[in-house]
C-alpha cells in the first residue's frame, strides 16, 4: 500500500490556512446572523414550522450557482463535484438525517453553535461527531468493498447526466428555486 | 455599521452572502465550502495521540490525509465568526438545554447532552458515509448541480424530517 505524509508536514502552507480561517470567520458570522447556529431554528425546519434553514440554503444555492457557472463559462474556475453512488448518498443521507434531527445541528452549524455559547453542542455534539467519524474510518475498508460501491455514478453533474449545455439546467433550476422561495413567502412560511 | 449589531438578518441576505462567499472560495482557494471532513481529520489526529503513527495507515486516513489544512481552519473560523457576530449583537448566551427540547423533554442538562452526543455520533458517521454534509453537499454540491449532492441533500431532509417528527410528535 502507498503511504504518504508519514513523518512529514502536518500543516498545509500558511496562505491556504489563512484563507481558510478568513472564509470561515465570514461563514460563521453569516450563519449566526441567519439564526442557523440555533437548535430551535434547525428543529423548527425539520418539524416544518420554521423555514429559515431552507430559505438560507436555497438562496445561497441560487446565487452561488449563477456565479459559479458564469465563472466556469469564463474559464475562471473549475467545478469540483463529488463522486457518489446510490449506496453512498441515499443510505448515508438517511443516516445523516437521523443524526441531524437528534443533534439538531450539522457539522458546520455546530461550530457556529459552539461560538454562540451552546454547551450541549460543545460537550455533547462535538465529541459525538469525532467519535462517529472515527467509527466510520474503522469500518471503511469493509463498507468500501460493498455498500458504498452500489449504484456508482461517479462525479456526474446534472448537465452531464442530461447531456445538455450547462445553462439548459442552470436557468430552469434558478427559476424553480426562485418560485419556491416566492411561494414560501406567499404561504407565510 | 449598525447592521453588524443586529441580532438577525433576513435569511435571504444571509443566503446571498453565503452564495457570494462561495464564489470567492472557488476563485481564491479553488475549494468549495464544506465542514465535515475537518471533523474526520481531527478525529484521526486525536486517535494518533493515543495509538500512535499506525492510525495514519488506516485506508480512510490515507484517503483524506491527516493534515491541518484549509477546511480545518474554515471550521475554526466558523466558531470565531459566530462568536463575533453573537458578541456584537448581544446574542451570546451560555445555554445547555435549547428551549424546544426543554418544552418537551424537560430541563435535564445530562439528558440533552447524552442525546447531543448520540446525535453527533450518528451525523458524524452519516456525513462520512454520504461523503459530505449540509454545507459540502447541501450548499456547495447542489450549487454545482452535482448528482451526488442533490440526492444527499434530499435524503438529509427526508431522514431529518421523519426523525424530528418521531422525536417530537410521536415520542414527545
Residue B111: the pLDDT is 98
**pLDDT surpasses 70 at B94:** yes
Considering only CB atoms, which chain B residues are within 8 Å of A94? 126, 155, 158-159
Contact A132 B121 (CB under 8 A): yes
* Closest-CA distance of chain A to residue B52, Å: 11
Average pLDDT over residues B57-61: 97
Q: Which percentage of chain A shows pLDDT scores above 70? A: 96
Considering only CB atoms, which chain A residues are within 8 Å of B167? 101-102
**pLDDT surpasses 90 at A8:** no
Contact B81 A30 (CB under 8 A): yes
The residue to which cell 450518528 is assigned: B122
pTM of the model: 0.96
**8 Å CB contact between A84 and B152:** yes
Residue A1: the pLDDT is 45
Above 0.95 for ipTM, yes or no?
Answer: yes
Contact B80 A96 (CB under 8 A): no
Contact A129 B123 (CB under 8 A): yes
**pLDDT surpasses 60 at A6:** no
User: Cα separations (Å) of A117 from A101, A106, B86?
Assistant: 20, 16, 9
Average pLDDT over residues B96-110: 98
Residue B148: the pLDDT is 98
Residue A9: the pLDDT is 84
Contact A133 B127 (CB under 8 A): yes
Average pLDDT over residues B95-117: 98
CA angle A49, A51, A57 (to 5 degrees): 150
Out of B8, B68, B85, the one facing A10 most closely (by C-beta) is: B68
Contact with chain A for residue B46, Cβ under 8 A: yes
**8 Å CB contact between A8 and B63:** no
Q: Residue A110's closest chain B neighbor by CA?
A: B79
Q: Which of B143, B113, B8, B151 is nearest to A119 (CA)?
A: B113
Q: Using one digit for the tens of pLDDT, what is the confidence trace for A53-99?
A: 999 999 999 999 999 999 999 999 999 999 999 999 999 999 999 99
Chain B contacts in chain A segment 74-93 (CB below 8 A): 76-86, 88-93
* Nearest-angstrom CA–CA distance, A97 and B56: 29
* Closest-CA distance of chain B to residue A180, Å: 13
* Closest-CA distance of chain A to residue B171, Å: 13
Residue A4: the pLDDT is 52
For chain A, give the mean pLDDT.
Answer: 96
Out of A4, A20, A112, the one facing B70 most closely (by C-beta) is: A20
Residue B101: the pLDDT is 98
Average pLDDT over residues B100-125: 98
Amino acid at each position: 500500500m502507498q503511504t504518504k505524509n508519514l513523518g512529514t508536514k502536518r500543516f498545509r502552507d500558511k496562505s491556504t490556512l489563512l484563507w481558510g480561517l478568513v472564509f470561515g470567520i465570514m461563514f460563521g458570522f453569516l450563519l449566526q446572523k441567519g439564526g442557523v447556529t440555533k437548535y430551535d431554528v434547525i428543529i423548527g425546519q425539520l418539524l416544518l414550522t420554521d423555514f429559515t434553514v431552507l430559505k438560507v440554503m436555497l438562496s445561497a444555492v441560487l446565487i452561488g450557482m449563477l456565479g459559479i457557472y458564469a465563472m466556469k463559462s469564463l474559464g475562471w474556475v473549475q467545478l469540483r463535484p463529488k463522486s457518489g453512488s446510490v449506496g453512498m448518498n441515499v443510505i448515508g443521507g438517511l443516516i445523516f438525517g437521523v443524526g441531524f434531527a437528534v443533534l439538531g445541528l450539522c457539522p458546520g452549524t455546530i461550530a457556529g453553535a459552539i461560538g454562540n455559547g451552546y454547551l450541549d453542542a460543545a460537550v455533547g455534539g462535538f465529541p459525538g461527531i469525532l467519535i462517529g467519524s472515527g467509527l466510520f474510518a474503522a469500518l471503511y475498508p469493509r463498507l468500501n468493498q460493498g455498500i458504498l460501491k452500489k449504484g456508482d455514478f461517479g462525479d456526474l453533474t446534472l448537465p452531464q447526466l442530461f447531456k445538455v449545455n450547462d445553462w439548459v439546467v442552470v436557468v430552469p433550476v434558478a427559476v424553480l428555486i426562485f418560485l419556491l422561495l416566492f411561494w414560501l413567502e406567499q404561504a407565510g412560511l | 455599521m449598525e447592521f453588524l449589531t443586529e441580532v438577525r438578518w433576513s435569511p435571504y441576505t444571509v443566503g446571498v452572502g453565503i452564495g457570494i462567499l462561495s464564489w470567492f472560495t472557488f476563485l481564491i482557494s479553488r475549494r468549495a465550502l464544506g465542514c465535515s471532513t475537518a471533523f474526520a481529520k481531527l478525529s484521526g489526529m486525536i486517535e494518533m495521540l493515543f495509538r500512535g503513527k499506525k492510525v495514519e495507515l488506516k485506508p480512510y486516513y490515507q484517503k483524506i490525509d491527516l493534515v491541518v489544512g484549509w477546511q480545518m481552519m474554515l471550521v475554526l473560523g466558523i466558531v470565531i465568526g459566530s462568536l463575533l457576530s453573537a458578541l456584537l449583537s448581544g446574542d451570546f448566551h451560555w445555554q445547555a438545554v435549547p428551549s424546544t427540547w426543554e418544552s418537551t423533554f424537560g430541563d435535564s442538562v445530562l439528558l440533552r447532552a447524552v442525546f447531543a452526543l448520540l446525535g453527533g455520533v450518528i451525523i458524524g458517521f452519516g456525513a462520512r458515509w454520504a461523503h459530505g454534509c449540509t454545507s459540502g453537499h447541501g450548499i456547495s454540491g447542489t450549487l454545482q448541480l452535482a448528482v451526488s449532492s442533490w440526492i444527499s441533500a434530499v435524503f438529509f431532509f427526508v431522514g431529518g424530517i421523519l426523525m424530528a417528527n418521531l422525536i417530537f410528535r410521536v415520542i414527545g
